[in-house]
Amino acid sequence: MIHILVKKIIDDWDPIDLFPYAPEDEYEEEIKQIENCMVNSSLEKDYLGKEIYEMFRRRFGSDIFTESLESCIDIANKILNASRDN
């Protein structure tokens, strides 16, 4: 269930603007990494946001991934809230 929630939030965010041209599983590796970070039940949005930020910068580079740390923290907050609601 958590995979579906994280996938929907990341795909809707589409931080690299790849959709609709990219395959449906374009962000699958990042989604798995986010899920791995979430095994800690006391995870905070700032920590997860920083992990998301660094993960996308490593994968795509700062010239392609231009989202701010703040936008990544917002996405982390959405993910954590959605996971708590389910």
Bigger pLDDT: 39 vs 6: 6
Q: What is the pLDDT of residue 38?
A: 87
pLDDT at 83: 87
* pLDDT one-digit tens code per residue, 31-75: 999 999 888 656 899 999 999 999 999 999 999 999 999 999 999
Q: Look at residue 77 and tell me whether its pLDDT is greater than 90.
A: yes
How crowded is residue 36: how many other Cβ atoms within 10 Å of its Cβ? 10
Q: Round to whole Å and give the CA distance between 4 and 8.
A: 6
Query: Residue 85 above 90 pLDDT?
Result: no
Contact 49, 75 (CB under 8 A): yes
pLDDT over threshold 80, residue 80: yes
